[in-house]
Structure 1
Amino acid sequence: MSGDGEAAAWARASHAAALFAVDPLGSGVSLRAPPGPARDAWVALLRDYLPSGAPMRRAPLAISDDRLLGGLDLAATLRAGRPVAETGLLAQADGGVLVLSMAERLSGGTAARVAAALDCGEIELARDGVSARQHARIGVVALDEGHDDDERPPAALLDRLAFHLDLGEVSHRAVKERCTSAAQVAAARARLPLVVAPAKAIEALVAAAARLGIDSLRAPLLALRVARASCALRCADVIDDEDLAVAACLALAPRATCAPPIEESEVPPEEAGDEPGSAKNDPDPKNDNAQPREAPATDDLIVAAARAAIPADVLARLATDARTHAPAARGGKSGAALVSARRGRPMGARRGALREGRLCLIETLRAAAPWQPLRRAHAADDAGLAVRVRADDFRVTRFRERRETTAIFVVDASGSSAMQRLGEVKGAIELLLADCYVRRDSVALVVFRGKSAEILLPPTRSLARAKRLLAALPGGGGTPLAHGLDAAGALAESVRRKGQTPLLILLTDGRGNIDRKGAADRAKALDDALDAARRLRAPGLAALAIDSSPAAAARADAPTRKIAEAMNGRYLKMPFADAATLSQAVRAAAPTP
């Protein structure tokens, strides 16, 4: 990003900080940026803009429900001999801002609880013998440190945040003096209740959101909040086109999913009527041919402002509808989650006997604390125990253990075009292995040709070994498709027994001609392949079938499609399956935790 681009990005982000501080409660900001001076400067700027005394609390990634929502204060309960509630971070941030660290890795449950606080402005606590209703009128700043497009905060949370900012390429040199003072923001906050939003402005925002392909009903409402804050910051009382343009740039443009065509009404006035004889150049006001120009519709101005705020490369991708081929899921980052009693990441505690897992002392004392007065009153001994614990108070820790994912490529190496197909597989495996280096996942390769199938590459993370074997792989001969699926099923079962999660990727044209007995019978070969595919469906194996047939795009009854349906897997056509798209499709098909 050039110096001017960085300066513009910082100016837009600092303006958004001022607008958010004018009306922070019930809304928020998604700030995509790595830890660094630019992000720290923006957070400090927001803190200065917020009302004096407004709390700003930071929530860590692995925050527990007790810390977020509140619960039983164990120490106070043991001292008082009665249940004492502990205030959670949501209630502590009442009237201020909650900052979510590493929001791109936020769990769905935590995101849902924060979203509920944004919607309702309060939390209802009913746990551990404590029942209370607490105010949680908050704004949210989600710090997004993701690098890839699929690394985003949960959609339910993003939908409720008015501003989506990106400071990823802004250096500390671009951080300039603020254009808006804290006093101006405070004055705008006091003026905000007086701002009037005309009905036409509201209708224009809704129409512009629809034209930009935004399907969220909250988007125009959040854009209206931004427009009202902009109006108040200008010391005005009625929203005008300038405020709507600000809302379009900051609230609608980051959510756009399509690029609407430029219409004649969006042409700037200075460029219209330049033709000879037009009304602009006609010096005679009595000329019958001279007609007054109509002002562009308000929603046209909003769309034009949003288009100007969308980066050129993103606008080009929207115009070519590239998003239709992007994976909808965020799978493939890890294997399926396995609840364990002894190892993994802690995920809370449950009631259980000591032999069922590790004792969670804090939760055990928390469960026993409310019963202490009653147990002391009915105690038959004078042991003078500080805490009386019974067997039904025991709580054992549950752990979530991540399984490693093993992607099993099942490759059709028969026929004259085998090398082209293997070239696609090679590119995909290289991309997958690069990801596996980070995720600690594995890749295996099963090849079928002639009259048999073989495991060419057992599960491995070695990129050099995979490339070496693929480069030396010959092609040609018959297509024993059933043998390839049987070998892949056996390997998947072996992977599953090792505690890993298998993912099967079949690359073939589907035109099998060798049956299970090794005979050349095309009809029997297809029946055997469908039978092998149905056997893979029984254990619930995640699968993806990629059709390499040249006529795949024109055939609704393609054999590979039938095999994909028999496996209960996803189907992809080779014309769209370049190495990058293939890798993305594998991620989408992978089992999610």
Structure 2
Amino acid sequence: MSDGADTGRALAALALDPGGLGGLVLRARAGPARAALEVALARLPGPARRIHPDTPDAVLFGGLDVAASLAAGRQVRSTGLDAAPCHMVLPMAERTRAGLAARLGQMLDAARGHCLIALDEGAEPDEAAPPALAERLAFHIDLSETRAGDVDIALPAPADLDAARSRLAATTLPEGAATTLTALAARFGIHSLRAPLMALRAARALAALDGAAEATDNHLREAAGLVYPARATLVPEAEQTPEEESPTPPEAQDGAETDDDGTAQSHLPDEILVAAIAARLPAGLLDPSGGPSARRGPSANGGAGDRQAGRQRGRPLPARPGPPDGRARIDPVATLRAAAPWQTLRRAAQNSPPGQVIVRPADIHLARYETRRDRLLIFAVDASGSAALARLAEAKGAVELLLAQAYAQRDQVALVAFRGDGAEVLLPPTRSLVQAKRRLAGLPGGGGTPLAAGLLAAGEMAAQARRQGLSPLIACLTDGRGNIALDGTPGREGALADALAMAGRLSGDGIPALLIDTAARPGPQAADIAATMGARYLALPRADAARLSAAIGTARDDLTG
């Protein structure tokens, strides 16, 4: 959102329920526009704590205080930010590594009243805050194209905020609000339940701001408009009634209730609300010709292969001052170099004998290293049924497009096809475009859908790749409608149970994954499997090779960067 009124309402709701709404992502470079909004953020309750993309665990969760321990001659432990509610401000959020994003997400999930203000300063569209972190923050504000004079945010007076905060606990939601907001989220391809839960909390906060005892449809609409647009993955098509069907009676329409006199009362979701949210969707959504992934070029996270910060081995980087956190080594040369200029003054102050080296906590420098690792994109392609030829053709084109970039990015590509009663590795990990074309030339298709076997084969390949030092990502192309169980017996119920079990196994192994729903009408089966697998879900029923390549390239850098 970039409208001043919407931004003001979002900030006011966040001031009422910071722990429930999680926080916000503010996309803006440092300047007057962002400074004006940061002034409004100072109205949030609780102390503000500024952190950075390399914040150690000791700051978040406490640990050994080296300086205090040296001064006291005994172990002194410090408390972390998780000890008391506060709102954390994270500049340069686009540089946050996956480990810190996970730990910040753990703090937000603990629901102790913390909230996070992620200041996204990315210069390019593909530079953004980690998706796993942004998903936990209710509001996304974009001021990247806003001038300072256009930022006009009106917040309620402190007394009004205090009064609304006291009303919040007693404010209720209308019956069926959760169902309608969840259905609306599904229409925009939002399959994480965090979005409708945050929209419900935002609706309660907005109702409390307006002094209402119960949230109205207008509050639900406003909350959905504030929370959903930045999370949408598709633009919903208008619902049409088939010509051969009779018009649906008013009492049976979705999102409507009927009074005693038979008059239908309109409720969410309606086409007006869908159009309002669609108008706020990010430009170029899922458009490889104009979206971020089309301009991506080499990986924004890794360049020629991922760069991974190491603490024990790799290419040495300049040492950096900081307290030992139990994970990084102390660089003795850099530490002594920092302490050397002060030895004369320190010996005189302490009457120490000549030759004694006095090291203070501020002198300690930690060694840093950098390693590079290759990435492996594993395509698990549903090669069953009458539409197999189209899906395999799309996968073939996407593999060839990604292989063309493999030499610059050090990526490898593999292909697993599942059909009939099992899965087959058609293309082992490779960068060879010639070998790939030869293997892809005669892909078979048809038969049943052993989805569980495909996930099992892809997971085994990913585990083997990890043992070899690669960074795997599974991209599964399927409609989610498996009908062959792991033991080869037909039946949708057993096949779905086995597929969910394999998806849970991949999630437990922590393997990044992307599930692309290729069904003509995306259904809940693929979304449920993606949620169990912890995978990003993307509905692309009419995807071509270019869109598949763009979507997988974006997920590759977000999930394995």
Place the TM-score, normalised by the shorter chain, in its bin: 0.5 to 0.7
Distance in 1 of aligned mates of 2:186 and 2:163: 33
* Cα RMSD after superposing both structures: 5.3
What is residue 316 of structure 2 aligned with on the other side? 343
Distance in 1 of aligned mates of 2:189 and 2:552: 24
**Match of residue 85, structure 2, among 95, 111, 114:** 95
What is residue 13 of structure 2 aligned with on the other side? 19
What is residue 274 of structure 1 aligned with on the other side? none
Per the TM alignment, residue 244 of structure 1 is displaced from its structure 2 partner at its CA by 0.2
Aligned pair count reads: 391
Per the TM alignment, residue 66 of structure 1 is displaced from its structure 2 partner at its CA by 2.3
Which letter maps to 2:203? A
Alignment map for 1:183-582 (pairs within 5 Å): 183-263=159-239, 294-296=264-266, 298-301=267-270, 304-311=272-279, 314=282, 317=285, 332-337=302-307, 339=310, 340=313, 343-344=316-317, 358=332, 397-403=366-372, 443=408, 502-503=410-411, 556-557=443-444, 576=544
Q: Deviations over 1:125-177 (max 9, x none)?
A: xxxxxxxxxxx631111111224444332222122111122121111121225
What is residue 376 of structure 1 aligned with on the other side? none
Distance in 1 of aligned mates of 2:303 and 2:437: 26
| Structure 2 portions without partners, runs of 5+ | 242-260, 337-355, 376-396, 415-425, 446-460, 466-471, 477-542
**Match of residue 4, structure 2, among 10, 18, 40:** 10
**Match of residue 67, structure 2, among 72, 75, 82:** 75
Structure-2 change in CA distance of 1:71 and 1:319 (3 Å): closer
Q: TM-score, normalised by structure 2?
A: 0.56
Distance in 2 of aligned mates of 1:36 and 1:206: 37
Distance in 1 of aligned mates of 2:554 and 2:203: 39
**Match of residue 172, structure 1, among 135, 138, 148:** 148
| Structure 1 portions without partners, runs of 5+ | 1-5, 122-135, 266-290, 363-384, 389-394, 407-423, 433-440, 444-500, 507-532, 559-564
Structure-2 change in CA distance of 1:19 and 1:349 (3 Å): closer
Distance in 2 of aligned mates of 1:397 and 1:198: 56
Per the TM alignment, residue 207 of structure 1 is displaced from its structure 2 partner at its CA by 2.2
- Percent identity among equivalent residues? 33
Distance in 1 of aligned mates of 2:87 and 2:66: 27
Instruction: Say whether 1:143 aligns with 2:119.
Output: yes
Which letter maps to 2:80? G
Q: TM-score, normalised by structure 1?
A: 0.53
Per the TM alignment, residue 201 of structure 1 is displaced from its structure 2 partner at its CA by 1.8
Distance in 2 of aligned mates of 1:353 and 1:216: 40
Q: Deviations over 1:35-74 (max 9, x none)?
A: 12121111211213x23xx201111222222233221122
Per the TM alignment, residue 217 of structure 1 is displaced from its structure 2 partner at its CA by 1.5
What is residue 34 of structure 1 aligned with on the other side? 29
What is residue 53 of structure 2 aligned with on the other side? 61
Q: For the Cα contact (< 8 Å) 1:96–1:138, is it kept in 2?
A: yes
Distance in 2 of aligned mates of 1:109 and 1:320: 29
Q: For the Cα contact (< 8 Å) 1:28–1:139, is it kept in 2?
A: yes
**Match of residue 107, structure 1, among 79, 90, 97:** 97
Distance in 2 of aligned mates of 1:333 and 1:244: 43
Per the TM alignment, residue 90 of structure 1 is displaced from its structure 2 partner at its CA by 4.1
Structure-2 change in CA distance of 1:38 and 1:351 (3 Å): closer
Per the TM alignment, residue 247 of structure 1 is displaced from its structure 2 partner at its CA by 1.0
Structure-2 change in CA distance of 1:257 and 1:545 (3 Å): farther
Q: Deviations over 1:323-380 (max 9, x none)?
A: 9x989x97654524464367127697768999xx756869xxxxxxxxxxxxxxxxxx
DSSP-derived class of the 2:42 partner: helix
Structure-2 change in CA distance of 1:154 and 1:542 (3 Å): farther
Instruction: Say whether 1:157 aligns with 2:133.
Output: yes
Which letter maps to 1:143? L
Which letter maps to 1:401? E
Q: For the Cα contact (< 8 Å) 2:16–2:165, is it kept in 1?
A: yes
Distance in 2 of aligned mates of 1:74 and 1:317: 49
Distance in 2 of aligned mates of 1:17 and 1:351: 38
Structure-2 change in CA distance of 1:224 and 1:171 (3 Å): same
Per the TM alignment, residue 98 of structure 1 is displaced from its structure 2 partner at its CA by 0.5
Structure-2 change in CA distance of 1:177 and 1:12 (3 Å): closer
